[in-house]
């Protein structure tokens, strides 16, 4: 049997997490997520993988309070995938907090030299969020919701995007690889590239620094 690395998993209550997000309680959601990160830190992990784009809002707090804790940022992985495809202007679909603010992703993507564009209409951001929270989170997959997301991709192409990051991990459940032929632009699957990067680091095939902006920029 091939060797496999030990992993420590922490699962948080998604309903509580979303309640903080809906209330726009930035401090509350950060503290809630940080408690989970503290559990991983106490387990003496080699590095942390936060399996959510929006939950990366806790990263500034982690870096302030636990500066020595290594972390594989999902935006670094998405940026690396963009640069491999020659993408310099990228659209971002995700939760409403990620599209409305999303500084925890957008700033990181910007450090890689990427220009980030999100849907401009608040109603579009809200519907995208409702698809994530009210449908995909309950294993509901609607053709009309998929069509709506594909329209957003086409709209971002008109705004100058060369690709679109599926910046919420649930979106990859609705826009699967079999639907890529219908998309106006290449789709960057944030969860998939994050998982692949984590596996490569664990296997010793890559280092965390390989995904940092300085490394990524110099090699592009």
CA atoms of 151 and 7, how far apart (whole Å): 39
CA atoms of 172 and 190, how far apart (whole Å): 8
User: Which tens digits make up the pLDDT trace of 187-216?
Assistant: 999 999 999 999 999 999 999 999 999 754
User: Which tens digits make up the pLDDT trace of 134-149?
Assistant: 999 999 999 999 999 9
Nearest C-alpha neighbor of 17 from the set 3, 1, 31 = 31
Q: Which residues pair with 136 in a beta bridge?
A: none
Helix (H) or strand (E) holding 30: helix 26-42
User: Which tens digits make up the pLDDT trace of 49-87?
Assistant: 999 999 999 999 999 999 999 999 999 999 999 999 999
């Amino acid at each position: 049997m091939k060797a496999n690395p030990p992993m420590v998993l922490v699962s948080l209550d998604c309903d509580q997490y979303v309640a903080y997000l809906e209330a726009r309680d930035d401090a509350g959601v950060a503290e809630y997520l940080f408690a989970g990160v503290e559990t991983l830190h106490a387990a003496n992990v080699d590095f942390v993988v936060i399996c959510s784009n929006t939950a990366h809002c806790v990263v500034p707090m982690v870096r302030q309070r636990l500066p020595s804790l290594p972390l594989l940022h999902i935006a670094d992985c998405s940026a690396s995938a963009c640069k491999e495809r020659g993408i310099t202007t990228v659209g971002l679909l995700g939760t409403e907090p990620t599209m409305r603010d999303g500084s925890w992703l957008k700033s990181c993507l910007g450090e890689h030299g990427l220009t980030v564009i999100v849907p401009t209409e608040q109603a579009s951001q809200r519907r995208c969020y409702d698809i994530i929270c009210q449908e995909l989170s309950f294993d509901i997959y609607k053709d009309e919701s998929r069509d709506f997301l594909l329209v957003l991709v086409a709209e971002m192409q008109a705004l100058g995007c060369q690709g679109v990051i599926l910046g919420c991990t649930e979106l990859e459940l609705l826009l699967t690889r079999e639907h890529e032929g219908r998309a106006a632009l290449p789709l960057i699957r944030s969860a998939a590239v994050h998982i692949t990067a984590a596996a490569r680091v664990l296997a010793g095939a890559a280092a965390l620094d390989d995904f940092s902006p300085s490394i990524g920029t110099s090699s592009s």
